[in-house]
Each structure stands twice: as structure tokens, then as C-alpha cells.
């Protein structure tokens, strides 16, 4: 609108939207898709006899109809630019007296059939002083079907001097026979950026200072309507003081939530600070704000944050309308919350806003909304899971710090027992003259983690009589849960995690400063790391779960201690080191170096090296073996679960190292014997048969006693029972 246009009479008492009503198509904002074709039609002198202008309220339909009438009746017209000097232009100007040949009809009060007949009778009379007689029918959708039918003939075939312009907000209610005889031009809401610039221009012409943060509130209140936005701006300008229109005045007058409250509640959501969030709710209620309005404003803020998180340059793309300082603050909030948590919070707030309609306790509804946003762990939906995962990824920063542990770091966390491992069948030991039959209730065939009678202690599993949690009573210490009896030496209790860490030289000196160099946190995640390795290569998982543990971590290098040099060499030379690094990268998004070392006390519990007192790597150097006692030719041992008489009196054999001399007969691997038949009692457990679809298992690989003898250089001592 042009402030310099001539205005007849005193206009200081007129409403702002009337004082700045456009007088030409060039002054109409946001409707170029309508004004440009109309001006071109006027230039080409191809003006239709009837037009239909439709669109939301306050977007310029009636104003454009008056401008079109002014262009048609100008003495220089039809022209796209009225002269503004002739009698017709002055009569149709802003705050002008009006023209007798341009008739405006409000169809809301003149839409009956009698009004239509009266219009039809007067339409055939020619114009008094202008080129055309023009009828502007406002709110045309209010004309009754009978009234439209009465106008149908004159609209379809009007006289040469007659023009019709229908303006309506609901074009679908205009009967089809009338719409088909008009040129339809749909008007739209004005974009926020265009409307904000226009309001700033009006405020400058009014010479009243207005803060930049006020204009977005006015644009939001106007909802794209120029007339509504001008009315709101007129109200603020009327109440402005010496300092002009301030943000506090605008929020108080328009009922919007102060931006400081929105910033406080969003920051509370980002920090998971329930106390701060509920304090904001209390301030909203105590300040007299409408809770529903606060929720609506919060949803608007979350919408802006979602867009900022997805499009960092949203302000340059005109996707968000806010001052620069507010944009910077919202950018930090979007980065702190993340897209997943923002999307979930917006969904919850939107749902809560719907539920608040007609609620008897709006404050309770508002507090429940805040509680739902603050507690993603209490929900199992996809949005809550994504929100929790995104928070862990941001907070963990696994390249330089581990996620926070659920327990205090000072408390030792026991290592979980390794799950049952599917291994190839172990090589059979020498067949005794009277083997003890397996009882169904004692040792089902194929049960994971158990061995047949006579198996070598520490061969990778527990003995036949070993309980599920560790060694059986009287078992040889270091035998991994099974083997020859040793009544004088009970099974030692496993050392706590803190003692194991102190006993490991690498653990004491590899911890760095901060969360990134804390080995205890890596140990807490070791079961998850093993699960990730298991999904990639089963052999690597077996090797790590039974023979290795975390001994140190400095933020970039993960130090893994193995129970023996053979296990370490198998890990490094067999490609398992690359598998572990790849599993860490895929599952946790980190690129750690892996260093394999040989350290005492390594291995997982439950049959692994060091965890249960022995295993494949628990063969200790203890001097030459004692001479074996003679074994009776008969008298099979009882089948009960308790220790047999031979177990109570037989001396405990000592393991020999690879350097100790061994008899020639013990150097060769023992002959294989047929595996025992499976028990009749079925058990829902994992058997020891390799899976057919596992490419990492080789049925030709060594296992059991063969692996001890050939791979680690151990000496097999044959277990011989004798009478007490």
C-alpha cells in the first residue's frame, strides 16, 4: 500500500486496513498469480463479462474487485494502471464517495430470489456516467440456489455494458451453472515473510517504533490474512507508549507465551530436568496464562526445532520466521535434543493438545505432557526407543567416552558367565574296561558345558558331576569344572573384578583421563561386544568368550589379555582381530585399535581360561607327574551324583608344562572312541554339533585333548581309578 496516496477527508479515525487499502494491482501483496493475468487481460482488452474471486478472508478479493472496476471505468481504460485523476478513479479511490455505476451487494443479507429478481431488472439499464455497469457480489456463497437460478440467464448472456464480479470464501457452494460461466481466480494466504515486510513498512510510515520480535507475533496472529494482521497491528499501535510497541506488551496483549518460558521448558526437556520443567508449568499457571495456549505455543516451537534439526539453514530458505538471536538460541536447542527426541516430543505435545480440549483440569494435562516427554524409557514405542538411542549416541561419544554406567564406577561388577558354546565333538579318551553308564537325570547326552567320564580336566567344559554354576565338590582346582578328585584342595573362589584388574599389569597403566580411558566401563560392555562379535564370526566369539578379557583401555586402544600364547596367536593369526575391530565399528560406531597380550587371570567364567579356575589355557607347570595307581579290573563306580570312593582317595594329578619331560606313550594323541549314544531324555539346549550354515566352523579342526596336546604342547595324564 502507498502511504502517499491521496485520501479524501480526515482518515486518522479510520482503521489501519482501510487507510492502507490498495488502489492498484501493483499494491496488492502476495497475489501475483492473480493480479498479473488480470493486468495482461486488460492490456489485451480481453475482459470477460463475469469473474469469480475465491480465497480465505482478508486476502484481497473485494479490494481486487474494486481495482478491476476502477481499471475498467477509467477514462484511459480499460487499462491495467488507472490514472487516478478522472472522475471514476476518484470516486473509486480509497475513502472515496463511490460510483453509482459500481454496485456492491452483500449476499449474506441480499441472497434471496426476490433480491436476485430486483438485480436482474435493474441490470438492463445502462450506466449513468461510466463505461460499464459493474455488480460486485460479496459473500456470493450465501446466495440461495433459487437466487442463483434467477441470475443465471443474465449472468450467462448479459448486455454489453454489464459486468459481474463474485467474491466468496467458499466457491464450492456457488452452483456449477454460475461457476461455469465465470473466470475463476483463486486467492491465497499471504506468505509470512511478505506480510512481515509489509507490516514493517506500515509501522515506519506511522512513525511508531516496533521491536523486531513483535512482527512475527503479529504475522502469526493474522494467520496469513492481510486484513486480520493489519487489525492486530492497529491494536498494538493504538496502545503503544513512548517506547513504542515492545515484545512484553505484545505477548501480554495477544495472549502469547513469553519466549523465555518456551526456552526454559525446551532446555528442561533437553537436560531431562523434571524439576525445571514442572517449575515452568507452575509459572505458566501462576502467571494466569492459558495452558492450552501454552501447549499450542510449545508445539509451534517444537515445529521450528524439528525443521532446524533437519535443515540447519531453514532461516535462509524462509522455512522459519524469527529474529537472528532467537534463531541462534533455537539452533542450540535443536542440536541438544536431536531429531528423534524432537519428533517424539512434538507428537506427544500434539496429542496432549487434542486431549486438552474440554479437559476439566488443564494443569494436570499439561503436567502429564511434560512427564511423557521426560520419560522415554517408560514407553516401548518406536519413537521412545529412537529417542533413547539418540540420547545414548550423543552422550556416549564412544570415540572419546563411554556411556554412563548404571552402577557407580567404584563398585566392582562381576563378569557374567559365558553362554553355552557349540563346539565340535571332543576327541574321546581311552576306553576303560568298565565305563560308567550315563544316568539320564545326571548327564544327558549332548548337554552343553559337560564332559564324558574320564575327560581331561580343563578341556573346555565342566565335568560330568559339575554343577551348572562352576566346579563340583572335590574337583581339581584349575580343571575348569571337572576332572580327577582332590579332597585336600577345594575349588578356590573366583577373584573379584577389582582383584583381577589389579593382577593384570596392562589394566593398571592403560586407563586414561576421563570416561574415554576407563577400562571398567569397557569391561561392563564386554558382553555386548561379544554379542556383536558372535553375529559376525562364531569362532572369534568362542575364542574371546573362553580365553580373553579386557585388560586395559586408553580411549583409542583396546587391550585384550589371553590366557595363553597359543590362544593369542590364534586370535591374531586367524583374522579374529579384524573381526573384533569390525564388530566394534558396526555395533558401537568406534574405530578402536586392538592389542592382544598374554596375561594371568584372563578368560571368562564358565569353562573359559581363568574364569572358572582353568580351561584350555590353565595347564600349569607343576613338575613330573606321579606314577599312576593300579586300577581294578571291575567294580564300576556308582551312578549317584556324589563323589565316588575312588575320588575320595585318589591323589590329585598335577599338570605338566610343555617344557617338562613326558613319556613317549603320552606324546601321541589317544585313540578315538565312538561317541556315547544320546540320552532318551530330550533337553531344549544347544547341542555340540556345528551348524550347517556356519561358514566359520571347520569340522576338521582340532578340539579337546588334541588341541591341548598339539596346539599348546600339554601332556596328557591318563586318569586311572583304583580301589581305596
**DSSP string of 228-268, one letter each residue:** HHHHHHHHHHHT-BTTBB-HHHHHHHHTPPPHHHHHHHHHH
Q: According to the model, what pLDDT value does residue 499 have?
A: 36
pLDDT mean over 603-612: 37
Q: According to the model, what pLDDT value does residue 602 have?
A: 46
324 and 414 both lie in a single domain: no
| Verdict on whether the full-model pTM lies above 0.95 | no
pLDDT-derived band at 319 (thresholds 50, 70, 90) equals: confident
Instruction: Give the integer Cα–Cα distance in Å for 255 and 281.
Output: 16
- Domain CATH code at residue 209: 1.10.8.60
The percent of residues above 70 in pLDDT, for the chain, comes to 61
- Picking from 220, 237, 254, the residue at the C-terminal end of a domain is 254
Helix, coil or strand: residue 559: strand
Q: Could you write out the DSSP letters of every residue in 458-496?
A: TSSSB-TT--TTSPPTTBPTTSSS-SSB-TTSPPPPPPP
Q: According to the model, what pLDDT value does residue 520 have?
A: 77
Q: According to the model, what pLDDT value does residue 111 have?
A: 84
Q: According to the model, what pLDDT value does residue 76 have?
A: 86
The C-alpha cell that represents 489 in the structure block: 584342595
Contact 551, 506 (CB under 8 A): yes
The C-alpha cell that represents 31 in the structure block: 497475489
Span between the terminal Cα atoms of the chain, in Å? 116
- HSE (CB half, 13 Å, CA atoms) of 322? 21
Q: For residue 526, give the nearest of 406, 417, 397 by alpha carbon.
A: 417
- Say yes or no to pLDDT of 464 above 50: no
Comparison of pLDDT for 167 and 715, the residue scoring more: 167
pLDDT mean over 603-619: 37
pLDDT mean over 203-214: 90
Comparison of pLDDT for 127 and 418, the residue scoring more: 127
- Picking from 163, 186, 209, the residue at the C-terminal end of a domain is 186
The percent of residues above 90 in pLDDT, for the chain, comes to 30
Angle at 205 (CA atoms; ends 241, 31), nearest 5 degrees: 120
498 and 562 both lie in a single domain: yes
- Picking from 186, 203, 228, the residue at the C-terminal end of a domain is 186
Contact 228, 222 (CB under 8 A): yes
Which H/E stretch holds residue 52? strand 50-54
Cross-strand bridge partners of residue 595: 559
Comparison of pLDDT for 296 and 521, the residue scoring more: 296
pLDDT-derived band at 234 (thresholds 50, 70, 90) equals: very high
Instruction: Give the integer Cα–Cα distance in Å for 309 and 565.
Output: 51
- Say yes or no to pLDDT of 501 above 60: no
- Say yes or no to pLDDT of 222 above 60: yes
Instruction: Give the integer Cα–Cα distance in Å for 531 and 97.
Output: 86
- Say yes or no to pLDDT of 323 above 50: yes
pLDDT mean over 460-482: 41
Contact 239, 249 (CB under 8 A): yes
pLDDT-derived band at 706 (thresholds 50, 70, 90) equals: low
The C-alpha cell that represents 649 in the structure block: 582317595
Task: Give 591's contacts (C-beta < 8 A, 6+ positions apart).
Answer: 399, 581, 584, 585
Comparison of pLDDT for 440 and 572, the residue scoring more: 572
Phi, psi (deg, nearest 5) at residue 138: -85, 150
Q: Helices 247-254 and 214-222 meet at what angle, rounded to 10? A: 20
pLDDT-derived band at 611 (thresholds 50, 70, 90) equals: very low
- Domain CATH code at residue 515: 3.30.300.180
Least confident of 487-491, 513-517, 618-622, 699-703: 618-622
**How many distinct structural domains can be found in the chain?**
4
Q: According to the model, what pLDDT value does residue 392 have?
A: 66
pLDDT-derived band at 506 (thresholds 50, 70, 90) equals: very low
Alpha-carbon dihedral 311, 313, 314, 315, rounded to 10 degrees? 170
Instruction: Give the integer Cα–Cα distance in Å for 475 and 648.
Output: 10
pLDDT mean over 60-68: 94
- Say yes or no to pLDDT of 437 above 90: no
Instruction: Give the integer Cα–Cα distance in Å for 122 and 140.
Output: 19
Q: For residue 489, give the nearest of 478, 476, 480, 479 by alpha carbon.
A: 476
Per-range mean pLDDT, top range of 36-45, 557-566, 633-642: 36-45
- HSE (CB half, 13 Å, CA atoms) of 620? 16
Beta strands in 345-500 (DSSP E): none
280 and 238 both lie in a single domain: no
Q: What is the largest CA-CA distance in the chain?
A: 140
pLDDT-derived band at 700 (thresholds 50, 70, 90) equals: low
- Say yes or no to pLDDT of 279 above 50: yes
Task: Give 390's contacts (C-beta < 8 A, 6+ positions apart).
Answer: 338, 339, 340, 341
Q: Is 445 inside any structural domain?
A: no
* Interval 3-35: pLDDT, tens: 444 444 455 678 888 899 999 999 999 999 999
Instruction: Give the integer Cα–Cα distance in Å for 545 and 548.
Output: 6
277 and 230 both lie in a single domain: no
- Say yes or no to pLDDT of 251 above 60: yes
pLDDT-derived band at 603 (thresholds 50, 70, 90) equals: very low
Least confident of 72-76, 312-316, 359-363, 429-433: 429-433
pLDDT-derived band at 164 (thresholds 50, 70, 90) equals: very high
Phi, psi (deg, nearest 5) at residue 285: -70, -45
pLDDT mean over 326-339: 89
pLDDT-derived band at 225 (thresholds 50, 70, 90) equals: very high
pLDDT mean over 54-81: 92
Least confident of 388-397, 503-512, 585-594: 503-512
Beta strands in 60-216 (DSSP E): 102-106, 133-138, 162-168, 183-186
Which H/E stretch holds residue 149? helix 145-156
pLDDT mean over 178-196: 92
Q: According to the model, what pLDDT value does residue 633 have?
A: 43
pLDDT mean over 95-120: 89
pLDDT mean over 74-97: 88
Contact 351, 308 (CB under 8 A): no
Q: How far is CA 204 from CA 274, 367, 602, in A?
A: 45, 43, 79
Instruction: Give the integer Cα–Cα distance in Å for 210 and 218.
Output: 11
Q: According to the model, what pLDDT value does residue 378 have?
A: 54
118 and 232 both lie in a single domain: no
Q: According to the model, what pLDDT value does residue 266 have?
A: 94
Instruction: Give the integer Cα–Cα distance in Å for 90 and 74.
Output: 10
pLDDT-derived band at 502 (thresholds 50, 70, 90) equals: very low
Q: Is 487 inside any structural domain?
A: no
Q: For residue 586, give the nearest of 645, 531, 509 by alpha carbon.
A: 531
Helix, coil or strand: residue 562: strand
Least confident of 62-76, 185-199, 222-236, 683-697: 683-697
Q: Is 290 inside any structural domain?
A: yes
Q: According to the model, what pLDDT value does residue 408 have?
A: 38
For residue 109, the enclosing domain spans 16-186
218 and 324 both lie in a single domain: no
The alpha-helical segments, DSSP class H, found in 490-603 are: 497-503, 505-509, 519-524, 526-534, 538-547, 565-573, 576-588
370 and 507 both lie in a single domain: no
Contact 715, 666 (CB under 8 A): yes
Residue count of the chain: 724
Phi, psi (deg, nearest 5) at residue 74: -65, 145
pLDDT mean over 439-456: 42
Phi, psi (deg, nearest 5) at residue 273: -100, 95
Contact 615, 603 (CB under 8 A): yes
Q: According to the model, what pLDDT value does residue 675 have?
A: 46
pLDDT-derived band at 400 (thresholds 50, 70, 90) equals: very low
Q: According to the model, what pLDDT value does residue 233 have?
A: 93
326-334 contacts at long range (C-beta below 8 A, 24 or more positions apart):
326/213, 326/259, 329/263, 330/301, 330/304, 330/305, 333/263, 333/266, 333/267, 333/270, 333/305, 334/305, 334/306, 334/308, 334/309
Question: 566-575 burial by CB neighbour count: b if 16+ within 10 A, else e?
Answer: bbbebbeeee
Q: According to the model, what pLDDT value does residue 235 have?
A: 92
Helix, coil or strand: residue 119: helix
- Domain CATH code at residue 266: 1.20.272.10
pLDDT mean over 60-75: 93
Instruction: Give the integer Cα–Cα distance in Å for 270 and 276.
Output: 11
* Interval 482-500: pLDDT, tens: 444 444 444 444 433 333 3
Q: For residue 374, give the nearest of 388, 394, 393, 390 by alpha carbon.
A: 388
Q: Is 49 inside any structural domain?
A: yes
Q: Is 561 inside any structural domain?
A: yes
Which letter does DSSP use for residue 450 in this model?
B
pLDDT mean over 500-508: 37
- Say yes or no to pLDDT of 593 above 60: yes
The C-alpha cell that represents 260 in the structure block: 523465555
User: Is the backbone of residue 367 left (phi > 0), alpha (psi -120 to 50) or beta?
Assistant: alpha
206 and 164 both lie in a single domain: no
Q: According to the model, what pLDDT value does residue 165 have?
A: 95
Q: Is 468 inside any structural domain?
A: no
Q: According to the model, what pLDDT value does residue 532 have?
A: 87
Q: Is 579 inside any structural domain?
A: yes
pLDDT mean over 436-441: 44
Q: Helices 247-254 and 226-238 meet at what angle, rounded to 10? A: 120
Q: For residue 494, give the nearest of 619, 602, 373 by alpha carbon.
A: 602
47 and 182 both lie in a single domain: yes
- Domain CATH code at residue 132: 3.40.50.300
Q: According to the model, what pLDDT value does residue 523 have?
A: 82
501 and 561 both lie in a single domain: yes
243 and 339 both lie in a single domain: no
62 and 173 both lie in a single domain: yes
Q: Is 298 inside any structural domain?
A: yes
Amino acid at each position: 500500500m502507498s502511504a502517499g496516496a491521496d485520501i479524501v477527508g480526515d482518515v486518522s479515525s479510520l482503521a489501519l486496513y482501510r487507510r492502507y487499502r490498495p488502489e492498484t494491482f501493483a499494491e496488492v501483496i502476495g497475489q501475483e498469480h492473480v493480479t498479473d493475468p488480470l493486468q495482461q487481460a486488460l492490456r489485451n482488452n480481453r475482459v470477460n463479462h463475469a469473474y469469480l474471486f475465491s480465497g480465505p478472508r482478508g486476502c484481497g478479493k473485494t479490494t481486487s474487485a474494486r481495482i478491476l472496476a476502477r481499471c475498467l471505468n477509467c477514462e484511459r481504460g480499460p487499462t491495467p494502471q488507472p490514472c487516478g485523476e478522472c472522475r471514476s478513479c476518484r470516486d473509486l479511490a480509497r475513502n472515496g464517495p463511490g460510483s453509482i455505476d459500481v454496485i456492491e451487494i452483500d449476499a449474506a443479507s441480499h441472497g434471496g430470489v426476490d433480491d436476485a429478481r430486483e438485480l436482474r431488472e435493474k441490470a438492463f439499464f445502462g450506466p449513468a456516467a461510466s463505461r460499464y455497469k459493474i455488480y460486485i457480489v460479496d459473500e456470493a456463497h450465501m446466495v440461495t440456489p433459487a437466487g442463483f437460478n434467477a441470475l443465471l440467464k443474465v449472468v450467462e448472456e448479459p448486455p454489453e455494458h454489464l459486468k459481474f464480479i463474485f467474491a466468496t470464501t467458499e466457491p464450492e457452494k456457488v452452483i456449477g451453472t454460475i461457476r461455469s460461466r465465470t473466470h475463476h481466480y483463486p486467492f491465497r494466504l499471504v506468505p509470512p515473510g511478505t506480510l512481515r515486510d509489509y507490516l514493517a513498512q506500515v509501522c515506519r510510515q506511522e512513525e511508531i517504533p516496533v521491536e523486531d520480535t513483535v512482527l512475527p507475533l503479529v504475522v502469526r496472529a493474522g494467520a496469513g490474512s492481510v486484513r486480520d494482521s493489519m487489525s492486530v497491528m492497529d491494536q498494538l499501535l493504538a496502545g503503544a507508549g513512548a517506547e513504542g510497541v515492545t515484545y512484553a506488551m505484545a505477548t501480554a496483549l495477544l495472549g502469547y507465551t513469553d519466549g523465555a518460558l518456551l526456552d526454559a521448558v525446551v532446555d528442561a526437556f533437553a537436560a531431562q530436568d523434571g524439576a525445571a520443567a514442572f517449575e515452568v508449568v507452575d509459572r505458566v499457571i501462576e502467571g494466569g496464562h492459558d495452558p492450552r495456549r501454552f501447549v499450542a505455543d510449545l508445539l509451534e516451537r517444537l515445529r521450528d526445532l524439528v525443521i532446524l534439526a533437519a535443515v540447519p539453514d531453514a532461516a535462509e530458505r524462509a522455512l522459519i520466521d524469527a529474529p537472528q538471536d532467537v534463531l541462534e538460541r533455537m539452533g542450540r536447542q535443536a542440536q541438544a535434543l536431536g531429531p528423534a527426541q524432537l519428533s517424539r516430543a512434538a507428537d506427544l505435545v500434539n496429542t496432549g493438545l487434542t486431549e486438552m480440549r474440554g479437559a476439566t483440569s488443564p494443569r494436570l494435562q499439561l503436567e502429564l505432557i511434560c512427564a511423557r516427554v521426560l520419560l522415554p524409557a517408560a514407553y516401548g514405542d518406536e519413537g521412545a526407543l529412537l529417542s533413547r538411542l539418540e540420547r545414548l549416541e550423543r552422550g556416549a561419544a564412544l570415540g572419546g567416552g563411554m556411556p554412563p554406567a548404571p552402577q557407580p564406577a567404584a563398585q566392582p561388577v562381576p563378569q557374567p558367565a559365558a553362554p553355552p558354546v557349540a563346539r565340535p565333538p571332543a576327541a574321546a579318551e581311552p576306553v576303560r574296561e568298565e565305563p560308567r553308564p550315563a544316568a539320564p537325570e545326571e548327564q544327558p547326552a549332548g548337554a552343553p558345558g559337560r564332559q564324558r567320564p574320564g575327560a581331561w580336566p580343563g578341556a573346555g567344559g565342566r565335568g560330568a558331576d559339575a554343577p551348572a554354576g562352576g566346579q563340583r565338590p572335590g574337583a581339581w582346582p584349575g580343571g575348569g569344572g571337572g576332572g580327577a578328585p582332590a579332597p585336600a584342595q577345594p575349588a578356590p573362589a573366583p577373584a573379584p573384578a577389582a582383584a583381577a584388574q589389579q593382577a593384570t599389569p596392562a589394566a593398571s597403566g592403560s586407563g586414561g583421563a576421563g570416561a574415554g580411558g576407563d577400562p571398567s566401563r569397557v569391561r561392563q560392555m564386554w558382553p555386548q561386544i561379544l554379542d556383536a562379535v558372535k553375529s559376525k564370526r562364531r569362532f572369534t566369539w568362542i575364542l574371546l568368550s573362553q580365553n580373553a578379557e579386557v585388560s586395559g583401555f586408553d580411549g583409542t586402544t583396546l587391550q585384550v589379555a589371553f590366557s595363553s600364547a597359543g590362544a593369542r596367536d590364534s586370535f591374531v593369526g586367524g583374522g579374529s582381530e579384524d573381526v573384533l575391530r569390525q564388530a566394534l565399528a558396526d555395533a558401537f560406531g568406534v574405530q578402536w585399535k586392538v592389542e592382544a597380550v598374554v596375561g594371568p587371570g584372563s578368560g571368562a567364567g564358565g569353562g573359559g581360561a581363568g574364569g572358572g579356575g582353568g580351561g584350555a589355557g590353565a595347564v600349569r607347570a607343576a613338575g613330573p607327574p606321579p606314577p599312576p595307581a593300579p586300577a581294578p579290573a571291575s567294580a564300576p563306580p556308582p551312578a549317584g551324583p556324589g563323589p565316588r570312593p575312588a575320588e575320595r582317595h585318589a591323589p590329585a594329578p598335577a599338570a605338566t608344562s610343555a617344557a617338562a619331560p613326558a613319556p613317549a606313550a603320552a606324546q601321541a594323541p589317544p585313540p578315538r572312541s565312538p561317541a556315547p549314544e544320546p540320552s532318551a531324555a530330550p533337553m531344549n539346549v544347544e547341542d555340540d554339533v556345528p551348524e550347517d550354515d556356519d561358514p566359520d566352523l571347520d569340522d576338521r579342526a582340532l578340539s579337546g585333548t588334541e588341541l591341548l596336546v598339539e596346539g599348546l604342547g600339554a601332556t596328557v595324564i591318563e586318569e586311572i581309578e583304583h580301589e581305596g
